[in-house]
């Protein structure tokens, strides 16, 4: 997932797609309990290996300067999961990305941004069968960042 470097390419691609009239596609808004945020970042991943895409969202909104909320997708409805180690991190002006950094078949989480208006962080959370734990890393703190995960040494993780 190379969101940052691909933005210009995606925009150019989208501009080259023929326009579709409203009669060909219909979108319907579905009420959700997903927190409305700004200065946000989101990513989807099947964190519980049930075949559907779950959601992590960060940003400022609600009654908090920063939020980090993981939602489980159950039959197309997103439910917040409490008790994750990043519940209290509260990030805005940041970026999140899922990827399997430990090569165990489930996607881990790299999270960066401004935490609770206090300091800038970058944290790696390892997914162990749907349960996340913080792995201390020597990664520098990055706010207003764009982060990606990549297999730089071609060892498959």
What's the pLDDT tens digit per position in 26-44? 888 877 888 888 888 899 9
pTM, entire model: 0.76
In this structure, what is the dihedral angle of CA atoms 48, 50, 53, 56, given to the nearest 10 degrees?
Answer: -20
Residue 148's pLDDT band, with cuts at 50, 70 and 90, is confident
Query: For 52-104, how does the pLDDT look when each residue is reduced to its tens digit (9 = 90+)?
Result: 999 999 988 877 778 889 999 998 889 999 899 988 888 888 899 999 988 89
Higher pLDDT, 118 or 42: 42
- pLDDT greater than 60 at residue 116: yes
Distance of alpha carbon 23 from the chain centroid: 33
Q: What is the mean pLDDT of residues 130-138?
A: 87
Q: What does pLDDT average to over the chain?
A: 80
- Rounded Cα distance between 46 and 131, Å, is 12
- Rounded Cα distance between 114 and 122, Å, is 9
- Rounded Cα distance between 33 and 94, Å, is 22
């Amino acid at each position: 997932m190379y969101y940052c470097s691909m933005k210009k390419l995606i925009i150019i691609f989208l501009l080259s797609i023929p326009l579709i009239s409203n009669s060909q596609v219909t979108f319907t808004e579905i009420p959700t309990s997903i927190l409305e945020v700004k200065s946000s970042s989101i990513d989807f991943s099947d964190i519980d290996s049930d075949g559907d895409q779950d959601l992590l969202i960060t940003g400022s909104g609600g009654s908090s300067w920063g939020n980090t909320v993981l939602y489980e997708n159950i039959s197309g409805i997103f439910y917040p999961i409490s008790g994750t180690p990043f519940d209290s991190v509260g990030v805005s002006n940041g970026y999140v990305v899922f990827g399997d950094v430990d090569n165990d078949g489930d996607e881990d989480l790299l999270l960066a941004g401004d935490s609770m208006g206090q300091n800038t962080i970058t944290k790696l959370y390892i997914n162990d069968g749907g349960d996340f734990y913080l792995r201390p890393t020597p990664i520098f703190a990055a706010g207003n960042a764009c982060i990606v995960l990549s297999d730089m040494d071609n060892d498959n993780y």
